[in-house]
Amino acid sequence: MHRVALFVFDECQLLDASGPWQVFATANELLPAPAYQLILVAEHEGPVTTNSGMVLHATAALGAITAADTLLIAGGSGVHRLSEQVIERLATLAAATARVGSICTGAFALARTGRLDGYDVTTHWRHASTLARQFPALRVRENALYLEQNNTFTSAGITAGIDLTLSLIERDHGTMLACRVARELVVFLHRPGDQAQFSEGLNAQLRSQGRLRRLIDRILSTPESDWRPAVLADELCVTPRHLTRLFKQATGTSPGEFVIRARLDAARRLLIDPALSMSGIATRCGLGGAEQLRRHFTRHFGVSPSVYRARFGARTPYSHALSPREGVE
């Protein structure tokens, strides 16, 4: 039985705790016999009030846990108020634990233990600069979903903790179980750890409004449609020159390049399914053929589609073919 200790505290983020916990619990349900013993740990056994007001019940006090196989530390505003005594106890437990990780701003607590010194780490994008400033011994990569060095993990905000936990399930029991857990929870399996916290599409949505925002939403939801610049200009009832100006203001690139990037983002998500051919993916994403997919993908991501699939794709076939609209960032 693999012991998982999940550390929480007053004003922790509820989903930082419940997301990873549910991934492990669902894995237990899908396995022939439960493989994970889940222990909710806090400074003291008993109620812990999250920053949403919902109360969790810690089943073990931090000082009573002497070892675990996996230790995860939740994030939340209360992480900055943890006492030195709590950090010392966390450091002791981390030293006796083979696999240690943090969810979101839980990285601040893990950094105080010294476990992250010299490592590449991540946290929620909004807190990355603060983490780097407070802990100069860390190399903070603010745009990664999760990172690992020497069995030490850090992850970005909230749902990235689910991505991280799915990767742990995959390490322990293989891709097929991780796929089944993701399907059961209706989440995207699984975003690579070094994937950006924000997709280009979301960034474009944040910077656009009105009719342009609605058009960008349509491009992202149906990238395979006919989105030639002339069609886009007609949709907005503007001249091609003004269309280019609007897109560069909102996306930093031309309309044609934005459409290509939207199609490549959709292709990247489909590549994890080994049942889909390169030509089939290219067709579904509006990229023409396999050679066009390879050329654009390599230029944009720096690796070929086949290399990307070998690195991040499911290594065992599964039946659920993801659509481009799944896996919201």
- Residue 193 confidence (pLDDT): 43
User: What's the rounded mean pLDDT across residues 213-219?
Assistant: 85
CATH topology of domain 200-312: Arc Repressor Mutant, subunit A (1.10.10)
Give which of 92, 106, 74 is closest to 6, Cα–Cα: 74
Please tell me the predicted confidence (pLDDT) of residue 317. Answer: 34
219-222: long-range pairs with CB below 8 Å, 24+: 219/258, 219/259, 219/262, 220/262, 221/324, 221/325
Q: Which two tokens stand for residue 154?
A: 């850090």
Going from N- to C-terminal start, the domains of the chain cover: 2-185, 200-312
Return the pLDDT at 311: 64
Cα–Cα distance between 86 and 9 in angstroms, integer?
A: 10
**Mean local confidence (pLDDT), 77-97:** 96
> What is the per-residue DSSP string for 233-299?
HHHHT--HHHHHHHHHHHHSS-HHHHHHHHHHHHHHHHTT-TTS-HHHHHHHTT--SHHHHHHHHHH
Greater confidence (195 vs 172) lies with 172
How far is 65 from 82, CA to CA, in rounded Å?
18
Q: How confident is the model at residue 174 (pLDDT cuts 50, 70, 90)?
A: confident
Token pair 């939207």: residue: 262
Q: What is the pLDDT of residue 314?
A: 55
If one compares 124 and 320, the residue with the highest pLDDT of the two is 124
pLDDT at residue 203 is higher than 80 = no
Tokens of 6: 């999940």
Q: How many alpha carbons lie under 13 Å from residue 62 in its C-beta half-sphere?
A: 23
CA dihedral 229, 260, 254, 243 (to 10 degrees): 30
> How confident is the model at residue 4, as a pLDDT?
97
Residues 310-325 have a mean pLDDT of: 42
CATH for 2-185 is 3.40.50.880
